């Protein structure tokens, strides 16, 4: 089969790493990078260190408002899809790149395969929730990472398209942990010891764009730094708003807070597995904290991964005053959260990437049989 894979943002490069490798054993794959993420540390680094095949095209759409960015992608993707004439378009996750590619492929009647279909936050004010719902509803193959994600899709009437495959991020976690142990120097670089620091990442619009929420989060980190080291690889979106709201310097000058550039997947794997706690609004990092059995405090309205909460390893911080986060309450929850040690892994057995490729290939074979 000829598959066109569309990627654009950090979590998508990561999720594609093992699937691309597997897919290329029996199929032709063309990778289109939309250019949504363009900084080296959000894009190029992953292709290099995870051995992801170089994109065949980079559409260089860059940043913009949701509509501008998505529309630019759609115009360029339409041309590429028409030129390449793929048998299937392969998409990951819930970013604007996912949405743009899904709508464009659907209008050209191209079959769509969606990896990580089905998680729901039940909050349509979150842009990613809308991206994911629309993509799921116009896809041909839906690869659900967990039984709950599959259940969500059944409830929306999509049962015929659903395949419960396991989560590719769990495959990656198993595969790259060994490599990270051998090659990452991040502990030496940052002068860290095991379980001696809290790892934090923040990039959701709800947390970064609101001065009240960003202030509450940074004040909470300052408070927590009295008793903990903090490692904070900061997304450029977050840096932009920290500077805009005058919050950057105080964080940067605190010797117990390591405010650093985003790191590669291998360094992040080491930082995650050895943290005492993780404070984040990242969907992917919530799952990785669970895989690593590190307590996670999620600063978001809800989670797409309630499995991690049900098993006791993740807690969603929702305490707010007039709809804004409250600094002291964040500190309390982070200090007091202590998982009960349950651990049933509902994210599969580490073979999701292989399962996904088999299903895509079966689809290709059956489609040909039907046509002739
Ligand atoms: C996007 C995804 C989000 C995902 C995140 C992963 C959407 C709606 N959101 O959010 O689901 O969790 O990626 O990291 O698609 N910027 C740079 N350099 C870059 C990229 C972005 O400086 O290489 C800055 C720009 O100021 C830009 C801002 O970050 O305006 C936001 O970037 P954007 O791609 O729109 O969304 P993310 O917040 O990265
Ligand atoms: N990640 C990384 N370096 C960082 C921060 C995150 O490699 O500095 C990885 C993280 O381990 C996970 C993925 O990026 O695999 C999560 O992506 P992100 O938080 O950007 O997006 P989300 O998962 O929230 O969509």
329 shares a domain with 216: yes
The helix/strand/coil state of 285 is helix
Mention every residue, 6+ apart, whose C-beta is less than 8 A from residue 183: 266
Q: Whose CA is nearest to atom 2 of ligand 2?
A: 265
User: How far, in Å, from the CA of 160 to the mean position of ligand 2?
Assistant: 31
Residue 66: how many CA atoms within 13 Å on its side-chain side?
A: 11
Query: Distance from the CA of 59 to the center of ligand 2, in angstroms?
Result: 22
Q: What is the pLDDT of residue 328?
A: 87
Residues near ligand 1 (Cβ within 6 A): 9-11, 36-39, 42, 63, 94-96, 127-128, 203, 235-237, 240
Task: Find the 342 Cα to ligand 1 centroid distance in Å.
Answer: 34
Does residue 138 sit in the same domain as residue 247? no
Q: 243 and 267 in one domain?
A: yes
Within a domain: residue 343? no
Sign of CA pseudo-dihedral 108, 353, 60, 137: positive
Whether 341 is in a domain gets the answer no
Q: Which residues contact 275 (CB under 8 A, 6 or more apart)?
A: 195, 197, 198, 199, 231, 289, 294
Q: Is residue 173 part of a domain?
A: no
- Nearest ligand to the CA of 299 is 2
Angle between helices 265-273 and 283-292 (to 10 degrees): 50
Residue 114 falls in the annotated catalytic set? no
Residue 278 is part of a domain; what is its CATH number? 3.40.50.2000
Q: Where in the sequence is the domain holding 28, given as residue range(s)?
A: 2-167+348-369
List of residues 6+ apart from 59 with CB closer than 8 A: 32, 33, 34, 35, 72, 73, 76, 77, 80
**Residue 12: how many other CB atoms lie within 10 Å:** 25
Most informative mutation of 50, 189, 282, 304 for ligand 2 (most atoms within 8 A of CB): 282
What are the average pLDDT values for consecutive 10-residue runs of the chain, which has 372 residues? 98 98 98 98 98 98 98 98 98 99 98 98 96 98 98 98 98 98 97 96 96 96 97 98 98 98 98 98 98 96 95 88 81 92 91 98 80 39
Residue 327: the pLDDT is: 85
Those residues whose C-beta lies under 8 Å from the C-beta of residue 223, and which sit 6 or more positions away, are 327, 328, 331
233 shares its domain with 278? yes
Pair (312, 192) in one structural domain: yes
In terms of C-beta density within 10 A (0-12 exposed, 13-18 middle, 19 or more buried), how is residue 278 classed?
Answer: buried
Quick one: which of 279, 288, 125, 334 has its CA closest to 209? 125
State in Å: Cα 202 to ligand 2 middle.
10
- How many structural domains is the chain composed of? 2
Whether 158 and 186 share a structural domain: no
Instruction: Give backbone dihedrals phi and psi of 354, rounded to 5 degrees, phi first.
Output: -65, -45
Do 296 and 155 share a structural domain? no
Residues near ligand 2 (Cβ within 6 A): 10-11, 14, 201, 233, 262-265, 268, 282-285, 288
37, 163, 203, 235: the catalytic one is 203
**47 shares a domain with 194:** no
What are the phi and psi torsion angles at 279 (to 5°)?
-120, 120
Residues 116 and 210 in one domain: no
Q: What is the pLDDT of residue 368?
A: 57
Name residue, tokens 């892994």: 345
Please name the residues in contact with 366: beta carbons below 8 A apart, sequence gap of 6 or more: none
Taking Cα atoms as reference points, which of 230, 224, 226 lies closest to residue 196?
230
């Amino acid at each position: 089969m000829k598959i066109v894979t569309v990627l654009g943002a950090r979590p998508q490069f990561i999720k594609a790493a093992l699937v691309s490798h597997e897919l290329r054993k029996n199929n032709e794959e063309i990778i289109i990078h939309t250019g949504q993420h363009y900084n080296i540390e959000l894009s190029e680094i992953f292709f290099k260190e995870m051995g992801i095949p170089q994109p065949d095209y980079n559409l260089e759409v860059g940043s913009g408002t949701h509509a501008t960015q998505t529309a630019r992608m759609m115009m360029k993707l339409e041309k590429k899809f028409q030129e390449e004439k793929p048998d299937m378009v392969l998409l990951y996750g819930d970013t604007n790149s996912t949405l743009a590619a899904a709508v464009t492929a659907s209008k050209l009647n191209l079959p769509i395969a969606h990896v990580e279909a089905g998680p729901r936050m039940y909050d349509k004010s979150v842009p990613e929730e809308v991206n994911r719902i629309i993509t799921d509803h116009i896809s041909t193959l839906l690869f659900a990472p967990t039984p709950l994600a599959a259940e969500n899709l059944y409830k929306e009437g999509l049962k015929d398209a659903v395949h419960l495959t396991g989560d590719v991020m769990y495959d990656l976690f198993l595969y790259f942990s060994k490599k990270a142990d051998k090659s990452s120097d991040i502990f030496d670089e940052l002068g860290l010891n095991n379980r001696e620091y809290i790892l934090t990442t923040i990039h959701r619009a709800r947390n970064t764009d609101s001065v009240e929420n960003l202030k509450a989060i940074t004040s909470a980190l300052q408070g927590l730094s009295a008793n903990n080291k903090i490692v904070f690889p900061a997304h450029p979106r977050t840096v932009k708003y920290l500077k805009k709201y005058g919050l950057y310097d105080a964080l940067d000058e605190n010797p117990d807070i390591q405010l650093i550039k985003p790191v590669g997947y291998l360094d992040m794997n080491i930082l995650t597995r050895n943290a005492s706690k993780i404070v984040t609004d990242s969907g992917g990092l919530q799952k990785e904290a669970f895989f690593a059995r590190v307590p996670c405090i999620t600063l978001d309205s809800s989670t797409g991964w309630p499995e991690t909460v049900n098993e006791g390893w993740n807690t969603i911080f929702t305490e707010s005053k007039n709809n804004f986060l409250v600094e002291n309450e964040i500190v309390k929850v982070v200090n007091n959260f202590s998982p009960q040690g349950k651990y049933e892994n509902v994210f599969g057995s580490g073979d999701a990437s292989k399962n996904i490729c088999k299903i895509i290939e079966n689809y290709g074979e059956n489609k040909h049989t039907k046509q002739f």
